[in-house]
Structure 1
Amino acid sequence: MSIQPLPKADFSYNMKLIGHSDQGGRPDGVQLMVNKGFAYVGHMFSKGFSVIDVRDPHHPKAVEYVAAPHNTWNIHLQTHGDLLLVINAKDMFAAAEFQDEKAYYKGAIGRKVGTASGDAARDWTGGMAVYDISTAGKPRKIGFMPVAGGGIHRIWYTGGRWAYASALLDGFTDYIFITIDMTDPTRPVEAGRYWLPGMNLAAGETPDWEPTRRYGLHHATVSGDIAYGAWRDAGMVVIDVADRRKPKLITHRNWSPPFGGGTHNCLALPDRDLLVVADEAVLDDYEDGFKPIWIFDNRVPGNPISLATFPEPKEADYKSKGGHFGPHNIHENRPDSFVSSELIFATYQNAGIRVFDISDQYRPKEVAAFVPGEPATLADRRPNRKKVIQSCDVYVDKAGLVYANDYNGGLYILEYQG
């Protein structure tokens, strides 16, 4: 079998590409996890998820593909130990109402898919699937938690009894925060909910924000008994989850406006009393402007204070390159991965993968970058999509290898050399 040459980079420093996979001809990827030498990749357009053998990172091999149910997204997933959790939600980017991507990021999504009133005709599967991955690389479905509504968007699970998710449920304007009891992985059950006042239309609440804004949870990460929720155009919502059945608000911080919203990740660095918070660029051609990655002082959890923003990549004209330019995802320091409170790994969509040193929290600096070249194919079949790289997720394993994927470009395996 001939060995395919590695794709060429448009730009690189302090990062070396050592392996690449087109994921079995399904090069589109959203969230990825690495567990026991296998990468699990949720697809944006290929209707399911794939498993890639990365035990030899120089020669990754696609070994499994699990198709999604009809009209259903499996874009996000979590692994820990012997479990894989996979979201099931309406395939938004296959829907006619979201072929113009702006429609997905503007306004109450529950109203658009009919779940706000509870009257949507269901032609998708909503909920969370549980797989046994005790045989590495061979997911075996063992459980499912259904939800009534659009489905689950993203999960946070690092083992034990509790998982946490964003869920689009009947009667709500957008995704809310839920806790999930995993005592029996074959029968996970919702345990608690939190939403911002105004989201629960079924209970007679009325939104007090502009109807063009997305007041919905992307997802929360959990540190101890505190959940840090990235609430898109509502900023950061900090939630006390000491009682997982009755989550309650600690504080809500929103910097949009004047900034453009789209908050996507919140990462607590408890050893330094810091938070790293990323705002996602969601529109093409820099239409939504500068989207920062922020550093917050978190010494007083009820009063996080912004200290600095990360520098924006400037070695090329990314604003005019096409597609999205700005942050998408950051490596989230999962306990079974590489954990650092000084190095932050992020994807910047058409500007690739970036590494930042925040040892001085007041002056974050970029220390490495890798920008893949133009993808070989365009997996994104929506109209008017430009054939440019859109680096989506990044995961760093315990050995320090960096895994990154793309809407079109496949899986990249990199060594950080800073």
Structure 2
Amino acid sequence: MAQNDDRTPELPSSLDAPSVEGVMPGGGTVPFRLPAGALTYLDRNQYISNLEIVGFFPSVKVTIFGDEHSCLWAKGSRRLIAFKGGWVDVTKPTKAHVIAESDLATFQSCVYNARLKKWIRVVAHQMPLTPGTPQYPRGKYHDDYARAAIADPGFRGIKTYDVTNPEKPELLSAFETGPSGHGVHLPFYDGGQYAYLACGWDDQLRMESTERVYSNGLMIVDMSDPAKVKEVSRWWVPGQRRDEAEFYRATYPFAGDQCSWTGNRTPCIVPKRVEDGGTIGYGGWGHFGLYVHDLSDIRNPKVYGKVTHPLEAIGGIPYHHVVPVTADPLRHPRLQNLVIAIPESLEADCREPFHTSYVVDVKDPAKPRIIGLFPRPMPHPDAPYKDFAMARGRFSSRVMQHWIAPGQARPEIVALSYLNAGLRLFDISDPTEPKEVAYFVPPRDGDISDYMSWRRGTTEAVFIEWDRNLIWLSTHAGLYCLSAPILGPPVLEPMAVTGWSVPHVNAGWDG
């Protein structure tokens, strides 16, 4: 086989092949046709159940909080949430405001390093993405679109900052992960010795999805000195590299579909640090599945086991975000050894199959198994559509509340940001049957004539302050602060953090 047959920038030539319509003109590969009955406008109404709005800050255009695992800086009663562009000061929940910074990319970690006695911020940098647009509906499979992303990739890697004084961040290092790869999409760093990067180090990691020219594997780096980051090891799924094409095509049913996500999106989330005796990490690898990584030899990572749903559909990112459940064994015996696995859609208007979130039992690391499926959210009875597939924009979960947050987490509560379906709260007291208990769908923003202004939906990320019973919801229209009866009365005054949802993280933050 000629090498060019297996290199992504050459694949757009397939667009020139004659189409075969079958029984329905306009059918074919993802993106599918617009669903019949889709709205011709954006619904400006809001819908709420079992939640209350504490405050709305339209000037705070926060889309994503940190890296979805650790984002809160705290000192005394002061609290800052890290986001692209700086910080949101939430010390006074009714007066949230932005502290701007420059050179900060979307995904990042912000944690306290107890050994250095410093707050460290790890910021990810990657090459431009290639989402489908009206001009390029097949994303990177349009040759000129792919080549534009490759031609001006920008810095690819991580930058580390000392943010002990958040108003005066100090750049410690700029660690490049590879001159020809995708760069770092997402870091996981908990303040310990190692950071785990969803990272593309060269152009040989395969990506079927239209949204990325290249794919990501897992890179582990030593953060003993954040000013001198060092690579420790790297791992990829067998068949993921281009020189493993024969194995890839013989092994994976989605091989060649040009829409499935074939790479690492969530790097290892490591509940117990390796330097403290931990050996397990959980990673989201899209259509490859949820992997339980064996970190017993940090320089030679392996895999204990993996899981995918047997009826997993093409398109989207089935294992976009994975979060281990932290629960007291005496109070919550049924919530032990669980991971929540969360998908994300990529095509607006349900132009790809719907994916749902899973509860995964990881008691046996070699045999993780799906034991619960989250129900499909349904619209409020007063909404002008009967399914969110008709509401315009992307319809799926995206991320769960942050794993590291102030206060003791309620492990039975799962809050999912749901793009065009807003915020959805679920109760997993019975992990085999998650139940929706609350929701908030904010008014839609954007202009229906400007596709890129509404394609993502409205809701992006969710962060819960467990000690103040507050829910922070980022949307493209602004920042919401919410409360929920299921959490208890909100605390609306400044309050010092006295503990964290993951006790070994941020130890010593209070000086």
Using structure 2 for the length normalisation, give the TM-score. 0.69
Of the three residues 270, 278, 284, the one matched with 1:222 is: 270
Q: Equivalents in 1 of 2:452, 2:63: separation in Å?
A: 19
Secondary structure of the corresponding residue to residue 349 of structure 2: helix
Write the letter of the residue equivalent to 1:18. V
Provide closer, same or farther for how the CA distance between residues 13 and 204 of structure 1 changes in structure 2, counting only shifts above 3 A: closer
Deviations 1:52-108 (A, max 9, x none): 21111111111213145xxxxx12111112011111111325x8999646536x89x
Q: Which residue of 2 aligns with 1:372?
A: 442
Do structure 1's residue 343 and structure 2's residue 343 form an aligned pair?
no
Provide closer, same or farther for how the CA distance between residues 410 and 134 of structure 1 changes in structure 2, counting only shifts above 3 A: same
Contact 2:127 2:183 survives alignment (8 Å): yes
Q: Which residue of 2 aligns with 1:306?
A: 370
1:234-249 matches, cutoff 5 A = 234-249=288-303
Q: Point out the structure with max Rg over C-alpha.
A: 2
Q: Which residue of 2 aligns with 1:90?
A: 127
Q: Equivalents in 2 of 1:80, 1:98: separation in Å?
A: 40
Q: Equivalents in 2 of 1:299, 1:199: separation in Å?
A: 27
Q: Equivalents in 2 of 1:190, 1:99: separation in Å?
A: 39
Secondary structure of the corresponding residue to residue 92 of structure 1: coil
Instruction: Give the share of equivalent positions with the same residue, in percent.
Output: 22
Do structure 1's residue 268 and structure 2's residue 351 form an aligned pair?
no
Q: Which residue of 2 aligns with 1:78?
A: 109
Q: Equivalents in 1 of 2:137, 2:339: separation in Å?
A: 30
Question: C-alpha displacement at 1:386, in angstroms?
Answer: 3.3
Q: Which has the higher helix share?
A: 2
Runs (5+) with no aligned partner, structure 2: 1-43, 113-118, 207-214, 273-278, 328-335, 381-386, 487-511
Provide closer, same or farther for how the CA distance between residues 294 and 121 of structure 1 changes in structure 2, counting only shifts above 3 A: same
Secondary structure of the corresponding residue to residue 248 of structure 2: coil
Secondary structure of the corresponding residue to residue 270 of structure 2: strand
Provide closer, same or farther for how the CA distance between residues 184 and 96 of structure 1 changes in structure 2, counting only shifts above 3 A: same
1:281-296 matches, cutoff 5 A = 281-296=345-360
Write the letter of the residue equivalent to 2:234. R
- Give the count of matched residue pairs: 387
Q: Equivalents in 2 of 1:76, 1:202: separation in Å?
A: 30
Report which stretch shifted further, 200-209 or 143-152.
200-209
Write the letter of the residue equivalent to 2:485. Q
Q: Equivalents in 2 of 1:100, 1:369: separation in Å?
A: 34
Contact 1:354 1:366 survives alignment (8 Å): yes
Using structure 1 for the length normalisation, give the TM-score. 0.83
Q: Which has the higher strand share?
A: 1
1:399-410 matches, cutoff 5 A = 399=467, 400-406=469-475, 408-410=476-478
Q: Equivalents in 2 of 1:21, 1:338: separation in Å?
A: 27
Q: CA RMSD in A?
A: 3.1
1:20-35 matches, cutoff 5 A = 20-22=56-58, 27=61, 29-32=63-66, 33-35=71-73
Runs (5+) with no aligned partner, structure 1: 1-7, 43-48, 69-73
Provide closer, same or farther for how the CA distance between residues 351 and 253 of structure 1 changes in structure 2, counting only shifts above 3 A: same
Of the three residues 155, 163, 167, the one matched with 1:125 is: 155
Q: Equivalents in 2 of 1:99, 1:141: separation in Å?
A: 38
Of the three residues 77, 98, 121, the one matched with 1:62 is: 98
Of the three residues 400, 406, 427, the one matched with 1:357 is: 427
Q: Equivalents in 2 of 1:293, 1:96: separation in Å?
A: 24
Q: Which residue of 1 aligns with 2:484?
A: 416
Q: Which residue of 2 aligns with 1:207?
A: 248
